[in-house]
Amino acid sequence: MTDLTELTAVQLLDGYRKGEFSPVDATRATLARAERIQPEVNAFVRLLADQALDQARASADRWRRGEPEGLLDGVPVTVKDILLLRGAPTLRGSKTVSEQGSWDEDAPSVARLREHGAVFLGKTTTPEYGWKGVTDSPLSGVTRNPHDPTRTAGGSSGGAAAAVAMGAGPLALGTDGGGSVRIPAAFCGIFALKPTYGRVPLYPASAFGTLAHVGPMTRDAADAALLLDVIGRPDSRDWSALPPTPGSFVAGLSGGVHGLRVAYSPSLGGQVAVSPAVAAAVRRAVERLAGLGAYVEEIDPDLTEPVDAFHTLWFSGAARVTQHLGPHQRELLDPGLREICGIGARYSALDYLAAVDVRMELGRRMGHFHDTHDLLVTPTLPLTAFEAGVEVPKGSGHHRWTGWTPFTYPFNMTQQPAATVPVGTDGDGLPVGLQIVAARHRDDLVLRTAHALYEAGITSP
């Protein structure tokens, strides 16, 4: 019999269409899987079983009538507990947020999913306010890696990544302010896309400003394209939202990579120490791209280390999001978050504007780079998943999570689309991710290239 938890959204929809199984079947199976994996990986803040089954029954009725409500009718989806979901508290991984309230509004991406008949399984874990690249919080504890529960799932969308990897829903909504869909997707062996800023509307606005993106986390690029077709629509609550794209991301998947100009940067010009296993897996995937007809050149973009500017922007945002808290509430915060809030509160407006200047210059350089290169390919991360429950690998010498994420956060500063694709494993069986980056507004090229790698069969973790 078909294990419905192993099917993609595209496959589930095909089964609904043919009458082989129903949204109720799929929802029961994914809820059972979610309950089974929860003690092992801690992916969920809360499951919404009763509501999900009600939504699934309504969807099954629509399918029986031959009147599906939208592109994702009856497909189970999870929502990171940073995004508003009507009827469920959004606690943001923090003991400082009260569960009290009506919770009667959906975030824009959630609203689009609801309009298309998706089934909401529950809310997934996040570090407090999504502040770091691993997922543990004072509220919900540590989220663990599906491939080795002693390792981290990554973050900040770690619960979403673990859920998708373990079959607790084929689709997940995550957020990414410095790598937060790509980091956990790479560690857990799934696909994730940080779209061009504004492609997916965000409300309420993030305290981290225009660094923060909403993105799909899925089994493959085809599911991500389908999800982006749904959530990538304007919403009046986000003044920075982009207009609709002409056509469909799904329709653009089939173009292949023949003739694309691909820049391959294995270590950002020697700036990054990449583990040999990661480097080898990424190089094999790049060689496959060349075999599929892409013009591959080993060349490095001018990414002069922008970490100080990123810290100014990020730490200031953290200080802003916690500004309203009193002394007692501050004692409840993750100690690392409390530390960066203190730093962020001491920056001046001129410090912030100087960081914006660095960001704009980085964006200019990357825009120029993409005049001659359609895509940039790098490792997603220089390492595989490390010990759970710590912000940085022990003995690494890093103080903050940005020390081990040099390939991800620069593209939040430039607002470019960037995806991670699983391209193998290391000697411990831990997944390796390859990052694909394109110029702003070329999400279609990122998805098309990732899809080509899936079609070539080299993306299984």
Distance CA 148, CA 227 (A): 28
Angle at the Cα of 183 (from 230 to 8), degrees rounded to 5?
Answer: 40
What sign results for the dihedral spanned by CA atoms 410, 309, 381, 195?
negative
Distance CA 165, CA 53 (A): 22
Q: Respond yes or no: is residue 140 known to be catalytic.
A: no
Distance CA 281, CA 325 (A): 45
Distance CA 394, CA 406 (A): 18
Q: Respond yes or no: is residue 80 known to be catalytic.
A: yes
Radius of gyration of the chain (CA): 20
Distance CA 87, CA 401 (A): 33
- Nearest in space to 339 (alpha carbons), one of 321, 315, 308: 315
Tokens of 252: 């653009």
Distance CA 134, CA 392 (A): 9
- Nearest in space to 408 (alpha carbons), one of 444, 389, 369, 380: 380
Strand 375-379 and strand 295-298: pairing? unpaired
**Is residue 358 exposed (0-12), middle (13-18) or buried (19+ Cβ within 10 Å)?**
middle
Distance CA 117, CA 37 (A): 25
Q: Name residues whose C-beta falls within 8 Å of residue 5's C-beta, 6 or more positions apart in sequence.
A: 29, 30, 33, 167, 168
From 22, 59, 80, 140, active-site residue: 80
Beta bridge partners of 152: 144
From 156, 206, 265, 316, active-site residue: 156
From 180, 206, 265, 316, active-site residue: 180
Q: Respond yes or no: is residue 123 known to be catalytic.
A: no
Place of tokens 């001491």: 346
Q: How many CB atoms lie within 10 A of CB 86?
A: 15
Angle at the Cα of 438 (from 145 to 364), degrees rounded to 5?
Answer: 115
- Nearest in space to 436 (alpha carbons), one of 403, 394, 407, 460: 407
CB half-sphere exposure, 243, CA atoms < 13 A: 2
Taking every pair of Cα atoms in the chain, the longest distance, rounded to a whole number of angstroms, is: 63
Q: Can you list the positions of beta strands (E) in 228-329?
A: 261-264, 295-298
Question: Which residues are catalytic, by number?
Answer: 80, 156, 180
